[in-house]
Amino acid sequence: MVQIPRGTRDFVPEEMQKRRYLQQRMEATFRGYGYGEIQTPTFETLELFTAKSGASIIDELYNFKDKGGRELALRPELTAPVIRCYIERLQMAPKPLKLFYFGNCFRYDRPQKGRYREFWQAGCELIGTDTPEAHAELVALAYTILKNIGLQNIVLNIGNLHVISAMFEKLRITDAVKKDLLTFIDKSQYEDLNSALRSNDISQQDTEAFLEILQTPDLDKIMNYVHGHERAHTELTRLRGVMDLLKTSFGIPDPRVKIGIVRGLDYYKGLVFEIEAPVLGAEKQLCGGGDYELVSLFGGTQVPQAGFAIGFDRALLALETEQFTFPQPSLDVFIVPVTETTIPMALSVASQLRAQGLTVDLDLLRRGIGKSLKYAAAQHARFAVIIGPKEQEEGKVTLRNMIDGSQSSCAVADLTAAVFT
């Protein structure tokens, strides 16, 4: 038998029910913050993704030549596509622009729990402002989305890439070495980082101080460490402002500063943040975002840009791991024609009720009352409508409340009202 490609998944109705529920909750929060939805193509020109990251990114992509010889790639993320669209269509739109998206992404990752080759992201881009309040609102939106879907335990960490750069400058670390060190920092591999710093002739004392600053949530300590570096000082003062707004105006109880956030994608610049669900273990990162620069790289007019992407599949996994109770799919009415002669009436009652906006199913297998009622219960039907020949003659049906088992005779004309109450 032909099998599903590695790292991809099918979603059966029970799973789609949860996914749609989650998507609706997320969408409501995006809209509540004034964001409008955007959709871009599933594949793009390969160059869109290599422009910033270089050819090395190709190893992580699904790329191909089409029949016309064009180099294309399935999108690995949606920020670059949204910015491409912004430059083509939206540069003249009033600012700030608030755009959100849901979309499947493709990466040639090694599949494991929480890591797939096709996965979904829910994310947004905020274009045209970088005030502290804009950044605070962006971070608060990511946090609120994850809270609003019902997650209990999430951790928000906020950093700043200019500060890390200042830390590297302080130790006089060259760009070539920096690249390797950033990989260790990104993966929180502090022991490896320690060895790497020591082998680059950084003293034990300086190494320890560097490692401490990467991990401390204490802004004053960080300020002290980069004392005298003007840019770092400005950025940290801004970060303090953003943290204060998050706590006081957005009511987020415990945002944490973590300077050791570097983010995998290489187009971020100042503010960066991540949200984790510790319950997920190794693949616990639910969301990543920050302040970045792509518009000018793609030929647009320079403008502030920031955004984030939530791993939709991981958010769902985290909810399931926290034992979240998802709403059950339910059916308003299941109709049971008792004999073949009542099938036409059953179909017409179904049409009438559906036209009123009710969700209605009926026995299409001619399987009799007992089995039909069992099936109706399995579908979580609220009511069963049973139509026998005698009832058909009288223009009536038997209405059975599937929750308490009570039954009554009901005129067809009164059915909708009876079901709605």
Which x/- pattern, by CB under 6 A, does the window 61-80 give for ligand AMP?
----------------x---
Q: Closest by alpha carbon to 145, among 291, 137, 113?
A: 137
Whole-angstrom distance, CA of residue 317 vs CA of residue 335: 36
Residues 175-194 that bind ligand AMP (CB under 6 A): none
Minimum CB distance to ligand AMP smaller for 154 or for 232: 154
311 binding ligand AMP? (CB under 6 A): yes
Q: How far is the CB of 356 from ligand AMP (least distance, A)?
A: 41
For residue 159, the 8-state DSSP code is E
Whole-angstrom distance, CA of residue 76 vs CA of residue 62: 8
**For residue 4, what are the contacts with CB-CB under 8 A and spacing of at least 6?**
10
Minimum CB distance to ligand AMP smaller for 97 or for 275: 275
CB 293 within 8 A of CB 309: no
CB 390 within 8 A of CB 342: no
Q: Closest by alpha carbon to 149, among 116, 176, 122, 120?
A: 122
Whole-angstrom distance, CA of residue 4 vs CA of residue 14: 19
109 binding ligand AMP? (CB under 6 A): yes
Whole-angstrom distance, CA of residue 197 vs CA of residue 201: 7
119 binding ligand AMP? (CB under 6 A): yes
The residues that bridge with 119 in the sheet, in sequence order, are 105
Minimum CB distance to ligand AMP smaller for 86 or for 116: 116
Whole-angstrom distance, CA of residue 261 vs CA of residue 256: 11
Q: Residue 326, class by beta-carbon neighbours within 10 Å (0-12 exposed, 13-18 middle, 19+ buried)?
A: middle
Minimum CB distance to ligand AMP smaller for 272 or for 358: 272
Cα dihedral sign, 283-252-250-156: negative
Q: Is the peptide bond before 76 cis (omega within 30 degrees of 0)?
A: no
Minimum CB distance to ligand AMP smaller for 23 or for 398: 23
Minimum CB distance to ligand AMP smaller for 118 or for 169: 118
Q: Closest by alpha carbon to 96, among 307, 267, 304?
A: 304
Closest CB to ligand AMP belongs to which residue?
A: 311
Q: How far is the CB of 287 from ligand AMP (least distance, A)?
A: 5
Minimum CB distance to ligand AMP smaller for 153 or for 407: 153
Residue 274 has phi, psi (to 5 degrees) of -140, 150
Q: How far is the CB of 20 from ligand AMP (least distance, A)?
A: 18
Binding segment for ligand AMP among 82-90, 106-114, 327-335, 413-421 (CB under 6 A)?
A: 106-114
CB 126 within 8 A of CB 84: no
Q: How far is the CB of 121 from ligand AMP (least distance, A)?
A: 5
Q: How far is the CB of 81 from ligand AMP (least distance, A)?
A: 12
* DSSP reduced 3-state for 382: strand
Q: Closest by alpha carbon to 75, among 25, 22, 123?
A: 123
Minimum CB distance to ligand AMP smaller for 197 or for 310: 310
Q: How far is the CB of 118 from ligand AMP (least distance, A)?
A: 8
313 binding ligand AMP? (CB under 6 A): yes
Binding segment for ligand AMP among 107-115, 139-147, 231-239, 356-364 (CB under 6 A)?
A: 107-115
Which x/- pattern, by CB under 6 A, does the window 120-149 give for ligand AMP?
-x----------------------------
Q: Residue 385, class by beta-carbon neighbours within 10 Å (0-12 exposed, 13-18 middle, 19+ buried)?
A: buried
Which x/- pattern, by CB under 6 A, does the window 149-168 give for ligand AMP?
--------------------
Residue of 107, 238, 396, 400 interacting with ligand AMP (CB under 6 A) = 107
Q: How far is the CB of 276 from ligand AMP (least distance, A)?
A: 9
Token reading at 125: 């881009």
Residues 251-290 that bind ligand AMP (CB under 6 A): 264-265, 285-288
Q: How far is the CB of 147 from ligand AMP (least distance, A)?
A: 16
Binding site for ligand AMP (CB under 6 A): 77, 107, 109, 114-116, 119, 121, 264-265, 285-288, 309, 311, 313-314
